Amino acid sequence: MTGGRVAVAMSGGVDSSMVAAILKEQGFKVMGITMQLFAGSPAPERAQRVARKLGIPHSVVDFGELFSRKVVDYFCDEYHRGRTPNPCVICNRFIKFDALLEKAQEMDADFMATGHYARTKSSANGHRLLKGADPRKDQSYFLYVIGQSQLQRIMLPIGHMHKSEVKKKAVALGLPVDTSRGSQDICFIPSGDYRSFVSRHLPLQPGDIVDTGDEILGRHQGLACYTVGQRRGLGLSSGKRLYVVSLDADNNRVVVGPEDMLLSSRLLARQLHWISGEPPQDLSGITAKIRYKSPAVAASLCLENDGTRVCFDQPQRAITPGQSIVFYRGEEVLGGGVIETVELA
């Protein structure tokens, strides 16, 4: 619908800047909208500069309190419980594709567009979410929490493009391409030191580091300082390599063991969300990703009232409670959930 009004979620980075440029070139009435999420965020100023260059109106919306309550508090609480959270998924669920999408509608936008590397497709059975065309940048993993009502109102204009193509077009248009900044795993922790961040928000409780036979090997600084699969920074003197195999929040213990104990083929996932609004009737041919950078691997699902048990054809390494597991069939995202417990192989 060329000529419609589109609010582009702009961060000032190359991806969202290119989205705004592409949509304007296609004849849409484009306006930029940027979230102020935390003090010191450079996003509003960067986005305003891009908007001026493109000649489009731009607004900043303050979601600081909502972001702190929904994302930051969740992030710290999960680490405190001995789990490894996924703040990007929670931000997409409550902030970007809920509060921001609602704000875009209040601004009379027909659609909201983002710079995610994923694709949407409409069919007789509703709206589908697909992987991005660039396998190295595909971000569909983070979007499994959106549903039909959001999919009919969002646009993902660069989902069919490769990152190299996006950068090339940005240079040709004179848009900023900051190759030194790179993407941050956690936008609200620029230093990347999440342990110090969590310790400033919640008290850390030291406890025992034990092996799988319950023998005490040392002391830990607090469960938030550790994650499943970690080897460095344990402070243990041992003739063999030891890894964190689990975090025992009930007893405030870090459990370590040899690397082969990180392998598991079964898990329980809860807080399920399905893109179509309901679980797939056909559970064949499903693959699953246990973290963003992991490959999608063959998996069998056994649906239960409060979740699903997942069995992998091949054991997976360092499955981590608190992380998202996302289900695919081919290029299509079916849905996902949060890893609750892990059964060791």
Active-site amino acid positions: 91, 187
Helices 14-25 and 43-54 pack at an angle, to 10 degrees, of 30
**What's the order of all strands across the beta sheet hosting 207-211?**
216-220, 207-211, 253-257, 243-248
How far is the C-alpha of 15 from the C-alpha of 2, rounded, in Å?
21
- Residue 336 tokens read as 């996902």
Alpha-carbon distance of 226 to 84, in angstroms, equals: 9
Distance of alpha carbon 16 from alpha carbon 11, whole angstroms: 6
Distance (Å, rounded) from C-alpha 82 to C-alpha 123?
42
- Choose among 203, 189, 183, 178: nearest CA to 38: 189
Distance CA 191, CA 56 (A): 32
**Distance (Å, whole) CA 294 – CA 321:** 15
How far does CA 209 lie from the centroid of its chain? 30
